[in-house]
A and B are shown apart, each in its own frame.
Chain A
Amino acid sequence: MARGGFAQWGNDLYTGRKSYPIVQKRKLWYSIVAAFSLASVLVLGLQGLNLGIDFRGGSEFTVSGTSTTDEDVAINAVATVAPGEEPHVSQVGANAVRVQVSQLDNQQTDQVGQALADAYGVDVSEVTSNFIGPTWGQSVSMRALWGTVAFVLAAAVFMAIYFRAWRMSVAAIVAMLTDVLVSAGVYAVIGWEVTPSTIIGFLTILGFSLYDKMVVFDKVRENTAAVTEQTRSTYAERANLAVNQTLVRSINTSVVALLPVAGILFVGGFLLGAGTLKDISLSLFVGIAAGALSSLFFATPLDVTLREREPKIAAHTKKVMDLRAGLVAEGADEGELAAAASGSAQLVPGHHQGQSAQPRRRR
């Protein structure tokens, strides 16, 4: 790739020669996020998630004395009675097949039993049906929920301490929860059955989203470490520079993280028909994309909005703006004005560098 390509674009973003006003346009991003969140809440509220056997329990059929234990036979047989079902089929012992489907009414139960008996060529008496409880019951869900709550709280405390700014931590957590909400909304729209794998997928999103925000915010932290000690740029401008500087990294990371998941989802799920992995890969795909986007377009602007309410930052922003207005009023050097809001490196007033910065004696 010659000059002017992706690498050049990265350079321009780093030096601030090219800069996208991401933080400045935050009202636009907020409305987009609000629209998506509202849509997700509506979809989840109206349609709800389609919980699978593992959560609700269902009917279990055991076909004994079969000559074949081919799983497709059972899947086809169930499909003739209840087309929407995704049965779990497994082989029990040497010549029995266990078929689990979500809860059926009595008539359907009889029909499925008959269909299975026909399909496997055995007598109806060889097919027993039973109610099976959820493997992922209330208690498991509650423990998973409390675990997640504890983890989110702990992460919030950790980030507040690490960044020494609770507003940053709040911004990250809010953005992360929005990611999960939107992912759940997309999942509900598609209407696939929610399995334990899906839940694991959502937890992974939680982790990834928080991780990505941590990386982006660390750059913001770095860029704004001494923001109040200079009067050239505001907190918002420095944060925007951070987002721009980390853009290349975010794109690279998201592509690398998404490629294997996309492979499983699109190649595996749609072309090869590997249905067993589609639930987890869909939740991961949507979640990772949402997580990476929201770090840049939602979490950082939200952080700026919140932190501009911090008295110290608010006072500093006002000071910078007043200075700029003063410069303009005086009709001062335009070059200086241009330099004001750009620049790649953190401007720090000169200070003593310590002994180590002194020239060494040559040996």
Chain B
Amino acid sequence: MLLTILTILLPFGALLAGWQLDGKSSDNPDGASLAPGLALDLQGGTQVLLKAVTSDGSEITPEAMEEAIGVIRQRVDANGVTEAEIASQGNNQIVVEIPGEVDDETVALISKAAQMKFRPVLTIGNPTPTAQPSASPSASPSASADGEGDGAQADGADAEADAPVGGQLTKDEIAEQQKAVEAATDPSDLAQITPSVQARFDELDCTDPKNLEGGGGDRPELPLVTCDATGAAKYILGPVEVDGTAISSASSGLRSGANGTVTNEWAVQLDLDSEGTKLFRESTQRLNTLESPRNQFAITLDGLVISAPSLSPGVVITDGRPEISGSFTQQSAATLANQLNFGSLPLTFQVDGQNQISATLGSEQLQRGLFAGLIGLALVVVYSLFQYRTLGLLTVASLVVAAAMTYVVIALLSWGMGYRLSLPGVAGLIVAIGFTADSFIVYFERIRDELRDGRSLRLAVQRGWVRARRTIYAAKAVNLLSAVILYFMTVGGVRGFAFTLGLTTIIDVMVVIWFTHPVMELLAKVPFFRDGHKASGLSADRIEVTPRYRGAGRISAPSAGAAHAPDDAASEPERELVTAQSVTPAPRTADDGRRMTIAERRAAERKAAAGSADATQQAQNEEKH
């Protein structure tokens, strides 16, 4: 019992604590609040306009836009149940509407292309432009091989995307480079550094912020001239060896050190698929035999090098689980892992505008609708009191407990995982009233059935509970099954609906086990209910109790004598049987008011039946036909 109370009170305590310690304010929009967060349709939010730009000026296909919308939707959904709305606008724009305030991290999350590629390093140079065309590979002390910079964040910065670093490649350059690549023995071959590549490398200024913005669209089959994401070095990289599509999953976490200790450096761990693992193993095998810096491979994200670790001689990465460390914070590591998990955007997007938008549903209309819903709720209370008398109060109390728990859990979830209550969510909650009340109705009807079989209230509650419980569990299991499947298989609004359905189902079962049933057990001991008072909803005149033969000639009826005095029963007119095979029922009591024995009753029945024998025969035949 104590455990029960604790379980019910715990969420309340957590919410209050959260409200006190991490209160929601203008500078802490993610904080806890006593009011649950509302979704886009009820509260409004931020509209982010993304404009697609292509690096090579090619056509933006509707398919690519559709794919981009899908990827953005998954990235947003992975953040929690926020129910963002994403639509294409015109030919080359995507409108993303997110409830509430949107921070830079979120904008980066949805707009970054996140095209990750693994390329071998050919040359490393100082970030500044060089005059003479001989950037000695070794003359780059500042270019730390791990890409450990000063913590400048490329991810969190403006998602301004541009053509690949250093501008568009001309047709001649492409042709020249293609030829060089075809002639090269392997992707690390220095012969791939054609004069045009060298010229671009020399011109490149990585101290210019414009060159550190990144952007997708680098050609995977050609060498790439680019900067370190922090601007600490510039690189010439060979053609792509392992593509980002080979990443089967990515996660972020603290990097573990050489001897298994956990460092405080954030890293993104990748899992490559079998094909990627094979390619990765082959390239590491080749690379670790080469001299520095060609023993390094670079991991590029949207065309910028985020990490370029060198392989110590003899090290071959065979398990296909590379780890990227570098200038990550917890946030940026999580963002990158999230982006990689859902694949890269086929297009590069430029943030075109960011606006506050109001709720898509008129708030006044919504209030009217909810007011109408409240009227309906009041009618529910009236109806259950009418049906179950005082017992109806238990229904109402249980509904109140369920409502309070739902409210608190939703408020907690909107704090913890960014859950937002939308209109379909509200509708789900309203329908949940029906589901929840049904558990009590099933339970009460079972108790009444048991009482009709002649059990005492205490026993009826016990047995009724066992039977009702089975029905309730089975039916709720179906609900929960649907909620879980819909939650994991769908996106957007349907997902929010599934979440609400699952939540209310769990709360409903909790309330019925931990509140309604224990209270009912207590009530069964209160004389008012036990003796079947007229207003208790369990009174004998509402429930006809068939006397139960207890052996040794005794008959037990729970409401001893009160409503079932023999004379009372005798004066009552017998009701007609409505079944087709009906026989005029024989009286149950003899003329003197004593209950008849079975033999006497049979005899009386036969006598009565003889009169209507023909009719009965006919009815029987009809029954059989």
Distance in Å from the Cβ of B392 to the closest Cβ of chain A?
10
A155 touches B577 (CB 8 A): no
Tell me if A28 is interfacial: C-beta within 8 Å of chain B: no
Inter-chain CA distance A248–B452, complex, in Å, is 14
A252 touches B441 (CB 8 A): yes
Tell me if B241 is interfacial: C-beta within 8 Å of chain A: no
Distance in Å from the Cβ of B403 to the closest Cβ of chain A?
12
Distance in Å from the Cβ of A4 to the closest Cβ of chain B?
9
A259 touches B380 (CB 8 A): yes
State which of A43-51, A109-117, A132-140, A296-304 sits at the interface with chain B.
Answer: A132-140
Tell me if B549 is interfacial: C-beta within 8 Å of chain A: no
Tell me if A171 is interfacial: C-beta within 8 Å of chain B: no
**Residue of A92, A210, A272, A340 touching B482 (CB-CB under 8 A):** A210
Inter-chain CA distance A337–B620, complex, in Å, is 8
Most interface-central of B372, B379, B448, B575 (chain A CB within 10 A): B372
- Contacts of A14 on B, CB cut-off 8 Å? 448-449, 452
Tell me if B261 is interfacial: C-beta within 8 Å of chain A: no
Tell me if B543 is interfacial: C-beta within 8 Å of chain A: yes
Tell me if A245 is interfacial: C-beta within 8 Å of chain B: yes
Tell me if A345 is interfacial: C-beta within 8 Å of chain B: yes
- Contacts of B605 on A, CB cut-off 8 Å? 334-335, 338
A151 touches B357 (CB 8 A): no
Inter-chain CA distance A104–B617, complex, in Å, is 73
B606 touches A333 (CB 8 A): yes
B361 touches A218 (CB 8 A): no
Q: Which residue of B lies closest to A341 (CB)?
A: B581
Distance in Å from the Cβ of B584 to the closest Cβ of chain A?
9
B 362-384 contacts with A by CB, 8 A: 362, 365-366, 368-369, 371-377, 379-380, 383-384
Q: Which residue of A lies closest to B388 (CB)?
A: A252
- Contacts of B613 on A, CB cut-off 8 Å? 334
Tell me if A215 is interfacial: C-beta within 8 Å of chain B: yes
Inter-chain CA distance A260–B606, complex, in Å, is 53
A260 touches B481 (CB 8 A): no
Distance in Å from the Cβ of B453 to the closest Cβ of chain A?
7
A338 touches B424 (CB 8 A): no
- If A60-B89, A263-B373, A272-B371 touch, whether A218 touches B356 (CB-CB below 8 Å) is no
A10 touches B355 (CB 8 A): no
**Residue of A7, A150, A200 touching B427 (CB-CB under 8 A):** A200
- Contacts of B543 on A, CB cut-off 8 Å? 7, 11
Inter-chain CA distance A215–B355, complex, in Å, is 49
Tell me if A8 is interfacial: C-beta within 8 Å of chain B: yes
Tell me if B580 is interfacial: C-beta within 8 Å of chain A: yes
Q: Which residue of A lies closest to B429 (CB)?
A: A260
**Residue of B47, B368, B376 touching A273 (CB-CB under 8 A):** B368
A344 touches B452 (CB 8 A): yes
B423 touches A197 (CB 8 A): yes
**Residue of A92, A162, A206 touching B474 (CB-CB under 8 A):** A162
Tell me if B358 is interfacial: C-beta within 8 Å of chain A: yes
- If A144-B494, A245-B449 touch, whether A133 touches B89 (CB-CB below 8 Å) is yes
B366 touches A274 (CB 8 A): yes
B 560-579 contacts with A by CB, 8 A: 572, 575, 577-579
Inter-chain CA distance A335–B616, complex, in Å, is 10
B 518-558 contacts with A by CB, 8 A: 541-544, 546
- Contacts of A193 on B, CB cut-off 8 Å? none
Tell me if A143 is interfacial: C-beta within 8 Å of chain B: yes
Tell me if B434 is interfacial: C-beta within 8 Å of chain A: yes
B424 touches A272 (CB 8 A): no
B423 touches A277 (CB 8 A): yes
**Residue of B89, B358, B384, B445 touching A91 (CB-CB under 8 A):** B358
Q: Which residue of B lies closest to A69 (CB)?
A: B358
Most interface-central of B65, B70, B361, B431 (chain A CB within 10 A): B431
Tell me if A159 is interfacial: C-beta within 8 Å of chain B: yes
Tell me if A35 is interfacial: C-beta within 8 Å of chain B: no
Inter-chain CA distance A258–B379, complex, in Å, is 10
**Residue of B474, B486, B606, B616 touching A148 (CB-CB under 8 A):** B486
Distance in Å from the Cβ of A293 to the closest Cβ of chain B?
15
- Contacts of B490 on A, CB cut-off 8 Å? 140, 143-144, 147
Distance in Å from the Cβ of A305 to the closest Cβ of chain B?
17
State which of B80-88, B137-145, B188-196, B341-349 sits at the interface with chain A.
Answer: B80-88
Q: What are some 16 contacts across the A-B interface (CB < 8 A)? A: A11-B544, A21-B580, A90-B359, A94-B356, A133-B89, A136-B492, A137-B69, A151-B482, A203-B486, A204-B431, A210-B479, A257-B431, A260-B430, A268-B371, A280-B423, A328-B620
Known: A19-B579, A199-B493, A342-B579; 5 extra A-B contacts, CB below 8 A, are A204-B431, A215-B471, A262-B376, A337-B581, A341-B623
* Chain A residues near B (Cβ < 8 Å): 1-3, 6-8, 10-12, 14-21, 57, 60, 69, 71, 88, 90-94, 96, 98, 130-140, 143-144, 146-148, 150-151, 154-155, 158-159, 162, 196-197, 199-201, 203-204, 206-208, 210-211, 214-215, 218-219, 222, 245-246, 248-249, 252-253, 255-264, 266-269, 271-277, 280-281, 284, 288, 321, 324-325, 328, 333-335, 337-338, 340-342, 344-345
Which 10 pairs across A and B sit closest by C-beta, in order of nearness?
Answer: A257-B434, A263-B376, A268-B372, A133-B88, A147-B489, A260-B376, A91-B358, A274-B369, A277-B369, A200-B424
